[in-house]
Amino acid sequence: MTDGVAPPGNERPEGEPGWYSRVTGVGSSIRQATVIPALALVSALIIGAFIIAVTDVDTIRIWGDDPGEAFRLTFSGIADAYKALFVGSFGSIRAITETLYAATPLIFAGLAVAVGFQAGLFNIGANGQMHIGGMAALWVGFSISVPAFVHIPVALMAAIVAGAIWGGIAGLLKARTGAHEVITTIMLNFIALYLVDYWLKSSVFQQPGRNDPISQPAAESAQFPTLIGNYRLNIGFLLALAAVWFVWWLMYRSTVGYEFRAVGANPSGGKYAGMSVAWIYVSVMAVSGGLGGLAGANQILGLEPYRGLSNFAGTIGFDAIALALLGRSHPIGVLLAGLLFGALRSGGREMQGAAGIPIDLVLVVQALIIVFIAAPALVRAIYRIKAPDQDGGTTVSTGWGT
Amino acid sequence: MTANAPTVTAEVKTRATPEERRATAIGVILVLLGAFVFWIFGLGVESGARSNFNLSLPGERFENLRWEVSSQWLAFIVAATLAFLGGFVLRRSQVKRTNLALAIGLSLFVLAFLTWAAADGSFSLVGMLRSSVLLSVPVTLGALSGLMCERVAVINIAIEGQLLTAAFVGTIMGSAWGIWAGLIGAMLTGALLGAVLAVLAIRYRIDQIIAGVVINIFALGLTSFLARRVLSEAQELNSPGRFPSIKIPVLGDIPVVGSLLFNHNMFVYVTFLLVIALHFGLFYTRWGLRSRSVGEHPKAADTVGIDVYRIRYRNVIYGGLIAGFGGAFLTLAQVSRFEENLTAGIGFIGLAAMIFGRWMPLGALGAGLVFGFARALQQKLGILGTPIPSEFLSMTPYIVTIIVVAGVVGRARPPAADGQPYIKD
């Protein structure tokens, strides 16, 4: 529905804010923008605790014989897990640097998705853009030898350009043919995944003497220098902060960003105001892809072993969707949400190591957070909060329609 | 909509132009393919080389059926046919036959390619086609699941998560109480996730794509978590056994066709029957008419007294049942063991097959077979040692889908109300 004409049966009642303000929180107070996310987090952690309890095989076996002891064990199990989660994310200087470190790629990728949301585009393709951007950064990283202050910027530029092209393909397809960006970005994700596998085994990238898909490492001058002592936290985090500022400036202080948001709020309105909607689709996806490319560069140049590996983007491209929703697509919100998810990841590793709870629980918690964020009515129903002025959930996309 | 708007008033002549241009492009592509076949597959092999295709599997009633052909001559014949097809499309510029010509051309191209790959060697053609059929089953079922939902305007990109969770539950229940219990458990799991999707999309009107993404992340997280925490402790819960192959009497003994279609496990037969049943159901029954009307124009459906919400809930849950059946196939027939992220994108290939098959059950089957063939071919190429990287074959479903949604080879049109929540006045 590129022209935004509401199809029959989908007229929105007068005065009800559209998905844009629901997702971005624009027009709602700080309190409204924080209460639901906070309750979503709490609810998700409670359900996570429940999952820990019911999967504790050893304790479940005791329930029949000694319910008191089993009860105690269940609660100490949950307490241990969440204590490790907290200690691993905020308990020490090292833990805090690990949280910031884990947050870095999430912030980049979250910004990528957020820019798309603000312009009414659903970029599921952060994963593919990360792969393509990361490989571009890696290629620059090992094929030229220049001092670090030149090498890193050039590698990052390569990542931005490559990611922007990959994202731009989806934008161009939407603008020219009406192909829905959700479908094209999902497909481009897989194409990128296999391209990376192919490149990793090609003579250009592959580590000499190896048969498995692993690349040569980026030169030392292209690796992100660390910030403090021997902690892993590196300049990638500062770059992420810069990206947050840039996106804020772009979306709220520049003409281009205004057009992005205008088209996101109402494509036909944008069109009648003289904006080229087609061009905006391409540029939004390019900006989004460029940010995704940076996330990919961070996974190569900021992460040991500084090599390309199969599926090096992991689930970050999908976590980014959760992040953008949680942060209401505002750059500051994405930053905070990124820090939270970074804490979950770094704490999750501690939880896995110290309490023996697989880190995959973090994925479950993240998924639950998105459900509660995307369906505020659900949280309100659980906590019996009165709906302020709206109900129902988010509608970001309107079908595959052409 | 923007692209279609002017065509309503424009004359028929002007509308035909882009399609004629497309026909011309396809004609040129066919001729180029012909030249490629002539050059690479024809002149690229020694003139005496022969390709040997095995048409039977070991242990069959008619063993040692084979088809031997001169590699070069076959390539020349294919090249000539391709050139003829290209000329046909170019001369007639007839839109209706273009896709047919393209399909025939591409199949011939694949045949020439296989002959070239098997030059001076033998190649188990039936073996590969048989594994294409097997590999197509989860893809087709995933596509059918997506189709059930999208025909009533609920986008289901949670197919991957449904398959994965169903495969997991099928493994555990199958190991504990036998394969039939596993099958039922898997299907109910799929239905449960379908119900979750339905509640999120219909009751809470969450963006359906977000709902799908959530279910996928949740499924991956939960199954990986449980696999590590429970399955690693209790290995005995991770060996469910398999559904056996059932050879259909008489039909199973027909050469070639028998081993392709009539000597499989129950899942394959049910999938074929399901495709036929859904095709009949969607287009020839009251249920199908109602479902399609809810997907195309819910308000009109509501006006004539169809309960839009009820039909949506019901079909999305049916879709979940089908995906659950597909998940069961993965761990109760294909392999008999669950591993983390076992599906690895099959659900998304199913989504692709649904689009490639244009939201039709028969199309889903066709697309599933094409994508299954691509995967089987990819596995075989490694053995044959051709210089073509398998990664490019793995990309086929995704590239094809982009081409289809971009309207390069015919336009795929989703149900009109797809993805839009219905708000009853």
Q: Residues of A with CB below 8 A from B298's CB? A: 9
Residue B352 sits in a domain of what CATH number? Answer: 1.10.3470
Q: Residues of B with CB below 8 A from A381's CB? A: none
Interchain CB contacts (distance < 8 Å): A and B: 210
* Contact flag B214-A370 (C-beta cutoff 8 Å): yes
Give the pLDDT score at B181. Answer: 94
pLDDT tens-digit map of A83-120? 999 999 998 999 999 999 999 999 999 999 999 999 98
Whether A354 has its CB under 8 Å from any CB of chain B: the answer is: no
**C-alpha angle with apex A125: A270 to B318, nearest 5 degrees?**
100
* Contact flag A363-B225 (C-beta cutoff 8 Å): yes
Nearest Cα residue in chain B from A169? B402
Query: In this structure, are B71 and B165 located in the same domain?
Result: no
Could you say which of B5, B205, B391 has the minimum Cβ distance to residue A197?
B391
Whether the CB-CB separation of A390 and A17 falls below 8 Å is answered with: yes
Whether the CB-CB separation of B388 and A163 falls below 8 Å is answered with: no
For residue B168, pLDDT beyond 90: yes
Closest by CA to A106, choosing from A326, A253, A274, is: A326
pLDDT tens-digit map of A142-198? 999 899 899 999 999 999 999 999 999 999 999 888 888 888 999 999 999 999 999
Give the pLDDT score at A323. Answer: 87
* Contact flag A375-B213 (C-beta cutoff 8 Å): no
pLDDT tens-digit map of A30-89? 666 677 788 888 889 999 999 988 888 777 777 778 888 888 888 888 899 999 999 999
What is the mean pLDDT of the segment spanning B365-382? 86
Strand bridging mode B66-70 / B245-247 = unpaired
Establish if B133 belongs to a structural domain.
no
Give the pLDDT score at A401. Answer: 47
Among A50, A395, A396, most B C-beta atoms within 10 A, so best to mutate, is A395
Whether A320 has its CB under 8 Å from any CB of chain B: the answer is: no
Type and span of the H or E element at B121: strand B121-124
Give the pLDDT score at A3. Answer: 37
| pTM attached to this predicted model | 0.86
**Residue B364 sits in which domain range?**
141-405
Query: In this structure, are B95 and B232 located in the same domain?
Result: no
Query: When comparing pLDDT for A7 and B225, which is higher?
Result: B225
Which of B57, B85, B119 lies at the terminal end of a domain, its last residue? B119
Whether the CB-CB separation of A308 and A300 falls below 8 Å is answered with: yes
**Measuring CA to CA, how many Å separate B410 from each of A69, A295, B23, B295, B400?**
66, 36, 10, 22, 12
Closest by CA to B360, choosing from B270, B264, B281, is: B281
Q: What residues contact residue A15 under an 8 Å CB cut-off, 6+ apart?
A: none
What is the mean pLDDT of the segment spanning B194-205? 91
Task: Provide the pLDDT confidence category of residue B340 given band limits of 50, 70 and 90.
Answer: confident
Q: What's the mean pLDDT when you consider all of chain A?
A: 85
Query: In a 3-state reduction of DSSP, which class is residue A7?
Result: coil
Task: Provide the pLDDT confidence category of residue B412 given band limits of 50, 70 and 90.
Answer: low
Establish if B129 belongs to a structural domain.
no
Neighbours of B131 (CB within 10 A): 18
Query: In this structure, are B81 and B168 located in the same domain?
Result: no
Q: Report residue B40 as tokens.
A: 């690479």
* Contact flag A178-B407 (C-beta cutoff 8 Å): yes
pLDDT tens-digit map of A131-145? 999 999 999 999 998
Classify residue A106 by burial, with Cβ atoms within 10 Å: 0-12, 13-18, 19+: buried
Over pLDDT 90: what percentage of chain B?
A: 37
Query: In this structure, are B95 and B216 located in the same domain?
Result: no
Establish if B413 belongs to a structural domain.
no
Could you say which of B207, B214, B233 has the minimum Cβ distance to residue A367?
B214
Whether the CB-CB separation of A247 and A114 falls below 8 Å is answered with: yes
Give the pLDDT score at B422. Answer: 84
Query: In a 3-state reduction of DSSP, which class is residue B122?
Result: strand
Establish if B422 belongs to a structural domain.
no
* Contact flag A393-B221 (C-beta cutoff 8 Å): no
Whether the CB-CB separation of B212 and B196 falls below 8 Å is answered with: no
Task: Provide the pLDDT confidence category of residue B95 given band limits of 50, 70 and 90.
Answer: low
Give the pLDDT score at B317. Answer: 96
Give the pLDDT score at B7. Answer: 45
Residues in chain A: 402
Type and span of the H or E element at B412: none
Q: Residues of B with CB below 8 A from A2's CB? A: 1-2
Query: In this structure, are B218 and B353 located in the same domain?
Result: yes
Task: Provide the pLDDT confidence category of residue B12 given band limits of 50, 70 and 90.
Answer: very low
For residue A27, pLDDT beyond 50: no
Closest by CA to A321, choosing from B98, B209, B415, B5, is: B209
For residue B11, pLDDT beyond 80: no
Task: Provide the pLDDT confidence category of residue B52 given band limits of 50, 70 and 90.
Answer: confident
The torsion angle over the Cα atoms of residues A160, A166, A167 and A172, rounded to 10 degrees, is 130
Give the pLDDT score at A32. Answer: 63
Establish if B253 belongs to a structural domain.
yes
- How many domains are contained in chain B? 2
* Contact flag B1-A2 (C-beta cutoff 8 Å): yes
Neighbours of B193 (CB within 10 A): 30
Out of A20-34, B203-217, B267-281, give the one with best mean pLDDT: B267-281
Q: Report residue B239 as tokens.
A: 């060996």
Task: Provide the pLDDT confidence category of residue A25 given band limits of 50, 70 and 90.
Answer: very low
Got the DSSP string for B218-283? HHHHHHHHHIIIIITT-GGGG----PPEEEPTTGGGSTTHHHHHSEEEHHHHHHHHHHHHHHHHHH
For residue B206, pLDDT beyond 80: yes
Give the pLDDT score at A7. Answer: 36
Distance (Å) from the C-alpha of residue A42 to the closest C-alpha of chain B? Answer: 17
Q: Report residue A258 as tokens.
A: 């205004």
Closest by CA to A131, choosing from A341, A319, A308, is: A308
For residue B242, pLDDT beyond 50: yes
pLDDT tens-digit map of A57-70? 777 777 778 888 88
Establish if B421 belongs to a structural domain.
no
Query: In this structure, are B370 and B233 located in the same domain?
Result: yes
For residue A8, pLDDT beyond 60: no
Whether the CB-CB separation of B43 and B119 falls below 8 Å is answered with: no
Surface of A (118-157) touching B: CB under 8 A: 122, 124
pLDDT tens-digit map of A326-355? 888 899 999 999 999 999 999 999 999 888
* Contact flag A188-B398 (C-beta cutoff 8 Å): yes
Give the Cα separation of A132 and A184 in Å (integer). Answer: 15
Residue whose entry in the numeric block shows the structure tokens 């170019």: B90
Neighbours of A385 (CB within 10 A): 13
* Contact flag A173-B229 (C-beta cutoff 8 Å): no
Establish if B302 belongs to a structural domain.
yes
Give the pLDDT score at B183. Answer: 95
Q: Would you say the C-alpha torsion A300, B397, A109, B216 has a positive or negative sign?
A: negative
Q: Residues of A with CB below 8 A from B399's CB? A: 187, 191
For residue B385, pLDDT beyond 70: no
Over pLDDT 70: what percentage of chain B?
A: 92
For residue B4, pLDDT beyond 50: no
Distance (Å) from the C-alpha of residue B97 to the closest C-alpha of chain A? Answer: 23
Query: In this structure, are B175 and B79 located in the same domain?
Result: no
According to DSSP, residue B337 is labeled S
Establish if B206 belongs to a structural domain.
yes
Query: In this structure, are B100 and B11 located in the same domain?
Result: yes
Q: What residues contact residue A72 under an 8 Å CB cut-off, 6+ apart?
A: none
Residues in chain B: 425
The domains found in chain A, sorted by start residue, are: 37-383 (1.10.3470)
For residue B398, pLDDT beyond 60: yes
Whether A179 has its CB under 8 Å from any CB of chain B: the answer is: yes
Query: In a 3-state reduction of DSSP, which class is residue B69?
Result: strand
pLDDT tens-digit map of B139-165? 999 999 999 999 999 999 899 999 999
Residue whose entry in the numeric block shows the structure tokens 């149900």: B415
Query: In this structure, are B93 and B225 located in the same domain?
Result: no
Got the DSSP string for A332-381? HHHHHHHHHHHHHHHHHHHIIIII---THHHHHHHHHHHHHHH-HHHHHH
Q: Residues of A with CB below 8 A from B423's CB? A: 9-10, 392
Give the pLDDT score at B172. Answer: 93
Neighbours of A149 (CB within 10 A): 8
Lowest mean pLDDT among A247-261, B28-42, B269-283, B307-321: B28-42
Query: In this structure, are B74 and B145 located in the same domain?
Result: no
For residue A17, pLDDT beyond 70: no
Closest by CA to B299, choosing from B425, B162, B111, is: B425
Which of B86, B119, B152 lies at the terminal end of a domain, its last residue? B119
For residue A259, pLDDT beyond 60: yes
Q: Residues of A with CB below 8 A from B206's CB? A: 371, 374-375, 393-394
Query: In this structure, are B171 and B302 located in the same domain?
Result: yes
For residue B381, pLDDT beyond 80: no
What is the mean pLDDT of the segment spanning B359-365? 93
Query: In this structure, are B114 and B229 located in the same domain?
Result: no
Give the Cα separation of B53 and B61 in Å (integer). Answer: 18
Nearest Cα residue in chain B from A356? B229
